[in-house]
């Protein structure tokens, strides 16, 4: 009898813990992956990747059980200058034919104060994977949109050194440090 109660208790706890974790899809139409880099050390060039997708497992009661996986299509780079975008897509920089995506897979999510998270994970760029930390504002409280879907959003920032990922063309012209900002909107049906 006690084994049956123990098995039932474990099953109930597993059901409750999985029920508390919601699955959200990143909404590509309302998500931005932006970057900023110094040019010649005198100005900042900003750009974005326009094709972002992914899944977020979020547990509001226990953020440590949350996770995020995102994929960005490298060919979607847009700096508003076609010649520069083509150069960024070339083997000198992102080599989009060989490396069609950038990915991020979280390894650890932790609360970092009211309305803030710190997400540690693996970022893969140009075939090189390095651990990075995202400083996150949010997520916002879920809300229902006019179509009956649940939505919530978050913003994250980090800084990387492009040389760490083997993106090393034009040193001195293109800065090494890249600031990254992600503004993510997620949906749950």
Average pLDDT over residues 133-153: 96
Q: Give the range of the structural domain holding residue 114, as residue numbers without chain letter.
A: 21-188
Q: Is residue 10 domain-resident?
A: no
Q: Is residue 31 domain-resident?
A: yes
Q: Is residue 29 domain-resident?
A: yes
Q: Is residue 7 domain-resident?
A: no
Give the global pTM. 0.87
HEC string of the chain equals CHHHHHHHHHHHHHHHHHHHCEEEEECHHHCEEEEEEEECCCEEEEEEECCEEEEEEECCCCHHHCEEEEEEEHHHEECCCHHHHHHHHCCCCCCCCCCCEEEEEEEEEEECCCCEEEEEEEEEECCEEEEEEEEEECCCCCEECCCCCEEEEEEEEEEEEHHHHCCCCCECCEEEEEEEEEEEEEEEC
Q: Is residue 99 domain-resident?
A: yes
Total tally of structural domains belonging to the chain? 1
Q: Is residue 1 domain-resident?
A: no
CATH number at residue 152: 2.40.128.110
Q: Is residue 97 domain-resident?
A: yes
The mean of the pLDDT values for the chain is 91
Q: Is residue 74 domain-resident?
A: yes
Each residue of 113-122: pLDDT tens digit?
A: 999 999 999 9
Each residue of 14-49: pLDDT tens digit?
A: 434 444 689 999 999 999 999 999 999 999 999 999
Confidence grade of residue 8 (pLDDT, cut at 50, 70, 90)? very low
């Amino acid at each position: 009898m006690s084994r049956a109660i123990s098995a039932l208790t474990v099953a109930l706890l597993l059901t409750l813990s999985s029920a508390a974790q919601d699955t959200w899809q990143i909404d590509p139409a309302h998500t931005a992956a932006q970057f900023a880099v110094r040019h010649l050390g005198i100005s900042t060039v900003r750009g974005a990747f326009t094709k972002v997708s992914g899944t977020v497992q979020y547990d509001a009661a226990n953020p440590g059980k949350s996770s995020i996986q995102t994929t960005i299509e490298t060919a979607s780079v847009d700096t508003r200058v076609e010649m520069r975008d083509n150069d960024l897509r070339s083997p000198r920089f992102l080599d989009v034919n060989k490396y069609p995506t950038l990915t991020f897979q979280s390894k650890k999510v932790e609360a970092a104060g009211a309305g803030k998270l710190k997400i540690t994970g693996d970022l893969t760029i140009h075939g090189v994977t390095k651990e990075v930390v995202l400083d996150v504002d949010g997520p916002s409280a879920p809300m229902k949109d006019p179509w009956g879907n649940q939505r919530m959003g978050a913003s994250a920032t980090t800084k990387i050194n492009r040389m760490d990922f083997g993106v090393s063309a034009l040193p001195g012209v293109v800065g090494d440090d890249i600031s990254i900002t992600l503004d993510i909107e997620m949906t749950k049906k």
